[in-house]
Amino acid sequence: MAHIQIDASNTCTLKCPYCARQTHKDYGDVLSLGNYFKLLDYYDHLSFSGQISDPIFNPNLITMLNWSQNKSVTVHTAATSPKHTEDWYLRAFKSNPQVTWIFGLDGPVGWSERHRIGQDSAFLMDIMLMGAGLGIKIIWQCILFSFNEKYIDSCRELADKEGIEFQLNLSTRFTPNDPMEPSRVAVTTRGKELNPKCLVDQPHNYSAKGFLTPCCWIDNHWHMDDENVQTLYSEELRLENNTVKDIVDSDAWKQFKVTFSKPCWDYCTMANPSSRKIL
């Protein structure tokens, strides 16, 4: 099943310290309806998430969800803004009740803001409860940090009680001796071989810059300047001027998958998330 991960806007109101957005604030543009239509035509599974943005800031998000009735769709958000009122969420939920909504709240109400700087976690919790009450599939995604470790069980209990799925994520983005790093997570071990997931099941990625890449890991500030990755961002490969099929069948994509560059070694030699575990 063809799957795309979409950076649908170039904006976010939060200041999460590990996010690529902190160094790429003026990166790219919002996904246009024209480009979205091309994605919808090709992919069966669409994830509105992103590398440098939050999907709620695409002004056409509700229209896009409404157009995706027969697709598998997830919306991954953590941002809050005065513009996105309860009424906005009500319309968004109703535009396509099959959509799964994943909300990033890193701990209980009032604590999440320690990582999700600028978030209104109380408001977002109300929205999650409203969605669950409407029968929408809501996932509470919580990244484990030192400040929220002791609250995880109570968060999970609350989620269970309210019919919300609780998903605990173990981040790999900590620096050495990082005070935000939880005490209970085993260090990720690295594999010795390149194991290219894009050849099998890695979702493609739509970059806020208007290009497709074979996965989202290489569309970030750590790796987008790599010379091999740059071949995927050449002007003639803009989605605006092509179909998705033109791009994924292009010589540049075929060549990229043969040469696999340094970013791929960084990511695809990393042991998969199941090797990170809570002690």
Ligand X SMILES: C[S@@+](CC[C@H](N)C(=O)[O-])C[C@H]1O[C@@H](n2cnc3c(N)ncnc32)[C@H](O)[C@@H]1O
Q: Which does 10 bind (CB under 5 to 8 A by kind): ligand SF4, ligand X, none?
A: none
Q: Which does 268 bind (CB under 5 to 8 A by kind): ligand X, ligand SF4, none?
A: ligand SF4
- Which residues, other chains included, contact 98 with Cβ-Cβ below 8 Å and sequence gap of 6+? 69, 72, 73
**CB-nearer residue toward ligand SF4: 153 or 227:** 227
State the burial class of residue 183 (Cβ atoms within 10 Å of its Cβ: 0-12, 13-18, 19+).
exposed
Beta carbons of 133 and 105 less than 8 angstroms apart: no
Shortest spacing between CB 219 and ligand SF4, in angstroms: 9
Q: Which does 35 bind (CB under 5 to 8 A by kind): ligand X, ligand SF4, none?
A: none
182 scored as a contact of ligand X (CB under 6 A): no
CA distances from 64 to 59, 60, 80, 153 (A): 10, 6, 20, 36
Q: How many CB atoms lie within 10 A of CB 225?
A: 10
CA distances from 17 to 52, 178, 183, 216, 279 (A): 12, 12, 19, 19, 25
Give residue for tokens 């990229």: 256
Residues near ligand SF4 (CB under 6 A) are 12, 14, 16, 19, 21, 50, 53-54, 78-79, 196-198, 202, 214-215, 217-218, 260, 263-264, 267-268
Among 8, 27, 47, 104, interactor with ligand X by CB under 6 A: 104
Shortest spacing between CB 255 and ligand X, in angstroms: 28
Shortest spacing between CB 76 and ligand X, in angstroms: 5
Shortest spacing between CB 228 and ligand SF4, in angstroms: 9
Among 49, 96, 148, 213, interactor with ligand X by CB under 6 A: 49
Among 83, 173, 245, 257, interactor with ligand X by CB under 6 A: 173
**CB-nearer residue toward ligand X: 254 or 278:** 278
CA distances from 26 to 12, 51, 76, 81, 154 (A): 11, 13, 21, 19, 38
142 scored as a contact of ligand X (CB under 6 A): no
Beta bridge partners of 121: none
Residue nearest to ligand X (CB): 171
Beta carbons of 6 and 49 less than 8 angstroms apart: yes
Residues of the shown chain interacting with ligand X in the complex, contacts defined by CB under 6 A: 12, 16, 18-19, 49-51, 54, 76-79, 104, 141, 143, 171, 173
